[in-house]
Structure 1
Amino acid sequence: MSIAAALDVDTAWETVVDDAPVAVHAAAGLVAVAGADGTCWVLTGSTGELVGTVTLPGGIFAAQLSPDAEHLALAGPFGHALWKRATDTTVIAKTGAWSGAVRWAGPDKVAIASGRRAVVLAPDGRELWAIEPAPSTVTDLVWYREGRRLATAAYNGVRCYERHSARPVVEYPYLGSHLALAVAPTGRWICSGNQDASIHIWRTRDGGDLTMSGYPDKIARIAFDDTGYWFASDGAPDITVWDFSGSGPEGTRPRTLRAHETVTALAWRPGGAGILASAGAEGTLALWRATSGSAGARLHPAHARELDQAVTALTWAGSDLLVTADWQGRVQASRLPEALPR
């Protein structure tokens, strides 16, 4: 049974881009589709109509629209770029430093991982401040405390910076290479997904920490839902969903979701309803009631379908529109009902 048949899904639009998408991001009525070779297409969320394109020489790893969708930030193996919607122009394109992550803090500033540093830019490309060099390449970064504090991941731990501080104001050590970083919307927890197939967790108020290890593969995709109480990660083949309510996940077991051979994308539906979308290298797209059942439960997809090609990236454009992109460049936006059948 397909998702479309079971949920009476409307395909809002479909288009094809001339590249293999590596990232999609939606904000304020626009969708950015970033291709591996360095072109990013900006589309309208309602119709898929092309708004503009921007190119980052050498390729793209990450793309994120500002919350008002007036600007777009790109990061890739040879640098980063900023794009301005009003004029469909590249504000800045800087090459020379490996750049793997971009994060906006409201519409007025964006943090970019640039080699061993993180730089914070204004939308017009002006550098507002930068951190001192980390021990190794900054692999991910995220804002918290309503954009007043920036957390960065590099070898041997997470370092946090206040506005205009080059040196960290707090450090959370953990020996190893960190691939992904997430902070709970509540600000209570910082988590890293790691090369050594583990998740490390710090409690921000006192630095208390724990490690969840034993995954079959490295952890490269992690995300909190909007409530900050639920945390999902890859680690192949299962997705694990941990309960961060109360005193946190220590001593508990996760819910496990199995529908993929290797997870290629996952994203929580906005609104805190416990719905997770995921995709796998084998070509399966799945929707989950990911917080149902009890601790330790193995959950089955609420609905899943086999696609012609593997989805490489997905994002929610609001709570009712799921945008997927496959490795051959097909981008599809599907409208989903509020509730999933049981």
Structure 2
Amino acid sequence: MSITAPDADLGIAWDITLDDAPVALSTEHDLVAVAGAEGTTGILDTATGAPVATVELPGGALHAALSPDARHLVATGPTGYALWRREDGSTTVRESGSWSSAARWADAERFAVASGRRALVLDTAGEELWATEPAASTVTDLAWMRGGRRLAVAAYGAVRCHERHQAAPVRTYPYIGSHLALAVAPTDRWICSGNQDASIHIWRTRDGSELTMSGYPEKVSRLAFDDSGCWLAADGAPDVTVWDFRGKGPAGTAPRSLRCHETVTALAWRPGPDGHLATGGHDGTIALWRATAGRPETRLRPARILDGDAAVTALAWAGPQLLVSAYRDGRVRAHHLPSRTAL
């Protein structure tokens, strides 16, 4: 591992090269977690990039999630998951043999992890609190709702919602297809899935009414709502599409289009209500956008472009002024950016 000194001209706070190819990022408080394809998750100091700890997960890693208080980390992968505790630096590895695609924290004390066809809910000691009944196929994504009181679980054929300690779902939102990504609006008003069949499917949680946005040239595997819950960004094409969920939602409307990359590999909303979005591409570029500007059907231009040397694999904001980017060649870089209202 090597660390490069900051470059003030480029707005680079730090630049570090890891010995594993990054696949996912997580940021909370003073920590950045970088999950590597071969199973090494590096935990770094947000301000300097200095290493804090390393978590090893046999069989490789797919995802990492720091707890809201940055006292714990869960890393998931094809063979199970690992739980790291900051207080004593210990790591508990659970090699279940089940594909574990994601983990999500309900609060600082509980998290859910996808484990094969079920979702497991555990505490910070790694003890299982409850589990969902098996889905029709492998669980692909998870999201907490209602302040951590309800868990949405995506698997083939439906998104199912579970209350605490209830294996059977209390609400089912059906859709015949394979869900690749799940996004729930911060208001809990909408549940959206990005799908293998190159579509986005939307449910209004209040009444279960649904809408499908189809016609994407590629599968939709990345979805994200901004902090307001009014805007949804999605991949599935060279253009990133940004849908307007204000009022009655996106039915009958067209999205804004953001084109900069031949292939989109990452996207992340800047914290706050200003509609700033970062996107990354296979070509190594990162584009910064005022993504909610203009009118429907508008094709926007980047407000700023940051160049890299390898494909971008993940993006995450560590507060409104620090953007962390990961690249396929092992590099992880933190960019200082202007104030929240500027790019």
Q: How far did residue 327 of structure 1 move?
A: 0.6
Q: Match of 1:166?
A: 167
- Distance in 2 (CA, whole Å) between partners of 1:259 and 1:274 is 17
1:183-221 deviation per Cα after TM superposition (whole angstroms, max 9, x unaligned): 000000000000000000000000000000000100000
Task: Give the match's secondary structure for 1:334.
Answer: strand
1:29-54 deviation per Cα after TM superposition (whole angstroms, max 9, x unaligned): 10001100000000010111111000
Q: Match of 1:38?
A: 39
- Distance in 1 (CA, whole Å) between partners of 2:307 and 2:92 is 40
Q: How far did residue 284 of structure 1 move?
A: 1.4
Q: Match of 1:247?
A: 248
- Distance in 2 (CA, whole Å) between partners of 1:160 and 1:8 is 48
Q: Match of 2:342?
A: 340
Q: Match of 1:191?
A: 192
8 Å Cα contact 1:156/1:175 also seen in 2: yes
Q: How far did residue 74 of structure 1 move?
A: 0.9
* TM-score (norm: length of structure 2): 0.96
Alignment size in residue pairs:
337
Q: Match of 1:94?
A: 95
Q: Which structure exhibits the higher relative contact order, with contacts defined as CA atoms closer than 8 Å and separated by 6 or more residues?
A: 1
- Distance in 2 (CA, whole Å) between partners of 1:130 and 1:297 is 44
Q: How far did residue 292 of structure 1 move?
A: 0.2
- Distance in 2 (CA, whole Å) between partners of 1:189 and 1:265 is 22
Which amino acid is 1:76 matched to?
Answer: G
- Distance in 1 (CA, whole Å) between partners of 2:110 and 2:64 is 15
Q: Match of 1:205?
A: 206
Q: Match of 2:291?
A: 290
Q: Match of 1:229?
A: 230
- Distance in 2 (CA, whole Å) between partners of 1:143 and 1:40 is 24
Q: Match of 2:30?
A: 29
Once the two structures are overlaid, the 10-residue window that deviates more, 84-93 or 140-149, is 84-93
Q: Match of 2:144?
A: 143
- Distance in 2 (CA, whole Å) between partners of 1:69 and 1:187 is 24
- 1:18 and 2:3 matched: no
* TM-score (norm: length of structure 1): 0.96
- Which segments of structure 1 move beyond 6 Å, counting only runs of 4 or more? none
Q: Match of 1:85?
A: 86
8 Å Cα contact 2:79/2:99 also seen in 1: yes
8 Å Cα contact 2:38/2:61 also seen in 1: yes
- Distance in 1 (CA, whole Å) between partners of 2:58 and 2:136 is 27
Which amino acid is 2:172 matched to?
Answer: E
Which amino acid is 1:91 matched to?
Answer: T
- Using the aligned pairs only, state the percent identity: 62
Task: Give the match's secondary structure for 1:146.
Answer: helix
1:221-241 deviation per Cα after TM superposition (whole angstroms, max 9, x unaligned): 000000000000001211000
Q: Match of 2:262?
A: 261
- 1:134 and 2:141 matched: no
- Distance in 2 (CA, whole Å) between partners of 1:55 and 1:142 is 25
- 1:71 and 2:72 matched: yes
- Distance in 2 (CA, whole Å) between partners of 1:121 and 1:89 is 17
8 Å Cα contact 2:178/2:195 also seen in 1: yes
8 Å Cα contact 1:21/1:327 also seen in 2: yes
- Distance in 1 (CA, whole Å) between partners of 2:130 and 2:229 is 29
Map residues 99-118 of structure 1 onto 2, 5 A cutoff. Answer: 99-118=100-119
Which amino acid is 1:21 matched to?
Answer: P
- Distance in 2 (CA, whole Å) between partners of 1:129 and 1:9 is 48
Q: CA RMSD in A?
A: 1.4
Label 1:261 to 1:93 Cα distance change in 2 as closer, same or farther (>3 A).
Answer: same
Task: Give the match's secondary structure for 2:81.
Answer: strand
Structure 1, unaligned runs of 5 or more: none
Task: Give the match's secondary structure for 1:313.
Answer: strand
Which amino acid is 1:10 matched to?
Answer: G
Q: How far did residue 89 of structure 1 move?
A: 1.4
Which amino acid is 1:115 matched to?
Answer: G
Which amino acid is 1:140 matched to?
Answer: D
Q: How far did residue 9 of structure 1 move?
A: 5.1
Q: How far did residue 78 of structure 1 move?
A: 0.7
- Distance in 2 (CA, whole Å) between partners of 1:77 and 1:235 is 24
